[in-house]
């Protein structure tokens, strides 16, 4: 086994140190600020909007993006043991507040700082365990192990949250992660050594002003896209203000980075063509992956699947993640085929995923029909993430790696999911309204099918003892429910159809894009930017 530089007590074997790091990491990858797996239960319990929960979820990702550039500065003045213990204690406090406080404004703020603190432990885990995954320090090999662990943890947390919320209370997920973090603290206290290090807080190196600007820009952007439909976009004064403020914040961010001798985030990765191509493709990957919201609508509204089974379906992403990681691992090790074929192959997985959905999504489909497409979505997502995670840094100056990580997290994990979710939500809403207007023209009692369904619903209501007027209203509501279902299904299939055409086009074009001029690509080493 490769020798790791873990801060262990003299009597502690290395394998126990590795176990300790995984014990620390497990609750962290399950922390998401707020949990969308229990969205229905939380919103009904607290009397809040589902958008509030989504906002908290994205706020945690924004916190990670803001934190990443300053982590090396904090690590320079804090030992691993001190950093881990402090971080875990703060996360326990924040998680407890989220579980106890019913105010979503406070929860969203706590979620942001949970994400902020989460970044520190994730990077510490990467630095300490990286040689264990890749003794030769190869980025593609490390990603093939690390990405499946992180993304699988997120899916497990959602499924577990749904289970706890359904059978107990949604707060139990926070209590569960708190328990796991307490166990992690015990492991650290027992097996990690204490070391003195001068606790000099580098105030000059921490640009609080730019951190505030970045946080505000990201959170305002998330707010606009998350609450846009609910607040009817520019009918809301708050959205108007945020939309006008965001360009100003971006301008201030760019100007400060250009004028600072040591900028918080270097803008040079944005001038690198491979970075731009990589960011663009990762945004596209998140866009296609966000189509899972369509599946959720289908499960909940068409075939009436409960939240537990709906979230459990996402567990089938995990074997897809593993398969995608294995493919990328051997692809970069062998380097027998051109890089563009890997990208095209990943996109064709999305094509097959969308094709199965387009032809398989009907009122009479089964839950089991979705197994294969969910697996393919996980395979496509993982293979493309790893591929472009390596691609964007191939020719990048090592000094720019952390800046690249910041932009990668901001685009991939913050902005892309929020924008994609907003797009699908708004598109589905407008298509459903359009479908209702179109289908209602034929839903008249002179239509034999409509007349038969109305008569059946009316007779059933009368048989249950309802008066004629009440029974007539029940029958009318029954027809309207059918109309809503049909229009929703029509909207889902329409969006999937356009996505299918788009994915097929990108898959074909990708097969001819000269990402590299040579067959073999450079072996890119790992670094502190591994996200």
Query: What does CATH list as the number for 1-203?
Result: 1.20.1250.20
Q: Would you say residue 500 has pLDDT above 90? A: yes
Output the CA–CA distances (angstroms, integers) from residue 114 to 56, 151, 529, in the order listed.
10, 17, 20
Q: Which residues contact 5 (CB under 8 A, 6 or more apart)?
A: 128
CB 73 within 8 A of CB 202: yes
Do 81 and 433 touch, CB atoms closer than 8 A?
no
Q: What is the pLDDT of residue 460?
A: 64
Higher confidence at residue 109 or residue 487?
A: 109
How many other C-beta atoms lie within 10 A of the C-beta of residue 102?
11
Residue 435 belongs to what H/E stretch? Answer: helix 416-440
Tell me the β-bridge partners of 525: 138
Tokens read off for 229: 């439909």
pTM: 0.86
Helix, strand or coil for residue 33? coil
Query: Using one digit for the tens of pLDDT, what is the confidence trace for 33-91?
Result: 776 666 666 666 666 777 888 888 889 989 988 888 888 888 777 788 888 999 999 99
Residue 246: phi and psi, rounded to 5, are -55, -50
Residue whose tokens read 């569960």: 176
Q: What tens digit of pLDDT does each residue of 126-159 get? A: 888 888 887 777 788 888 888 898 888 888 877 7
Cβ atoms of 58 and 112 within 8 Å: the answer is no
b/e string for 211-223 if b means 16 or more Cβ within 10 A?
Answer: bebbbbbbbbbbb
| Position with higher pLDDT, 439 vs 7 | 7
Among candidate residues 414, 431, 332, the one with its CA nearest the CA of residue 55: 414
Q: What single DSSP character describes residue 168?
A: S
User: Which residues sit opposite 138 in a β-bridge?
Assistant: 525
SS3 for 391-418 is: HCCCCCCHHHHHHHHHHHHHHHHHHHHH
What phi, psi does 525 have (nearest 5°)?
Answer: -80, 160
Q: Is 25 exposed, middle or buried (0-12, 13-18, 19+ CB in 10 A)?
A: buried
| Residue owning tokens 């097959």 | 352
Report pLDDT for 464.
65
Q: What is the pLDDT of residues 90-122, one digit of tens each?
A: 999 998 988 888 778 888 899 999 999 998 998
Given a cut of 80, is residue 194 above it in pLDDT? no
**CA 320 to CA 147: how far, in whole Å?**
12
pLDDT beyond 80 at 445: no
pLDDT score of 498: 92
Contact 181, 85 (CB under 8 A): no
To the nearest 10 degrees (0 to 180), the angle between helices 39-46 and 139-167 is 50
Taking the mean position of all CA atoms in its chain, how far away is CA 180? 22
Q: What is the pLDDT of residues 328-366, one digit of tens each?
A: 888 888 877 788 888 999 999 999 999 999 988 888 888
- High-pLDDT (> 70) share of the chain, %: 84
């Amino acid at each position: 086994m490769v020798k790791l530089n873990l801060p262990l007590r003299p009597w502690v074997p290395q394998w126990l140190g590795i176990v300790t790091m995984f014990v620390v990491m497990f609750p962290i990858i399950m922390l998401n600020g707020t949990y969308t797996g229990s969205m229905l239960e939380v919103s009904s319990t607290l009397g809040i909007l589902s958008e509030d929960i989504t906002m908290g979820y994205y706020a945690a990702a924004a916190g990670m993006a803001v934190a990443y550039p300053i982590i090396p500065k904090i690590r320079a003045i804090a030992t691993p043991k001190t950093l881990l213990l402090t971080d875990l204690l703060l996360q326990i406090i924040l998680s407890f507040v989220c579980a106890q406080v019913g105010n979503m404004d406070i929860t969203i703020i706590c979620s942001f700082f949970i994400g902020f603190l989460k970044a520190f432990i994730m990077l510490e885990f990467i630095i300490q365990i990286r040689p264990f995954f890749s003794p030769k320090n190869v980025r593609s090999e490390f990603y093939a192990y690390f990405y499946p662990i992180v993304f699988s943890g997120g899916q497990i947390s959602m499924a577990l949250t749904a289970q706890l919320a359904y059978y107990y209370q949604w707060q139990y997920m926070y209590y569960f992660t708190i328990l796991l973090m307490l166990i992690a603290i015990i492991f650290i206290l027992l097996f990690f050594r204490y070391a003195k290090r001068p606790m000099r807080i580098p105030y000059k190196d921490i640009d609080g002003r730019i951190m505030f600007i970045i946080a505000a820009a990201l959170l305002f952007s998330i707010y606009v896209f998350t609450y846009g439909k609910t607040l009817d976009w520019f009918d809301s004064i708050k959205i108007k203000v945020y939309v006008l403020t965001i360009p100003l914040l971006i301008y201030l961010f760019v100007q400060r980075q250009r004028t600072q001798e040591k900028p918080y985030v270097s803008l040079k990765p944005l001038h690198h063509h491979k970075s731009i191509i990589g960011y663009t493709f990762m945004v596209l990957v998140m866009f296609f992956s966000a189509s899972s919201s369509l599946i959720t609508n289908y499960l909940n509204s068409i075939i009436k699947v409960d939240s537990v089974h709906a979230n459990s379906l996402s567990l089938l992403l995990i074997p897809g993640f593993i398969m995608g990681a294995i493919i990328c691992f051997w692809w970069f090790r062998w380097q027998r085929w051109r890089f563009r074929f890997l990208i095209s192959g990943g996109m064709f997985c999305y094509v097959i995923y969308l094709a199965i959905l387009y032809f398989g999504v009907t009122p009479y489909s089964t839950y089991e029909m979705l197994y294969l497409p969910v697996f393919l979505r996980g395979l496509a997502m993982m293979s493309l993430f790893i591929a472009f995670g390596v691609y964007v840094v191939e020719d990048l100056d090592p000094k720019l790696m952390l800046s690249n990580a910041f932009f990668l997290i901001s685009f991939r994990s913050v902005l892309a999911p929020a924008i994609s979710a907003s797009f699908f939500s708004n598109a589905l809403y407008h298509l459903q309204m359009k479908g209702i207007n179109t289908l209602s023209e034929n839903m008249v009692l002179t239509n034999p099918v409509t007349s038969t369904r109305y008569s059946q619903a009316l007779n059933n209501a009368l048989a249950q003892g309802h008066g004629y007027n009440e029974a007539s209203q029940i029958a009318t509501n029954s027809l309207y429910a059918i109309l809503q279902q049909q229009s929703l299904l029509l909207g889902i299939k329409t969006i999937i159809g356009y996505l299918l055409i788009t994915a097929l086009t990108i898959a074909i074009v990708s097969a001819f894009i000269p990402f590299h001029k040579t067959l073999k690509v450079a072996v890119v080493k790992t670094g502190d930017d591994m996200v």
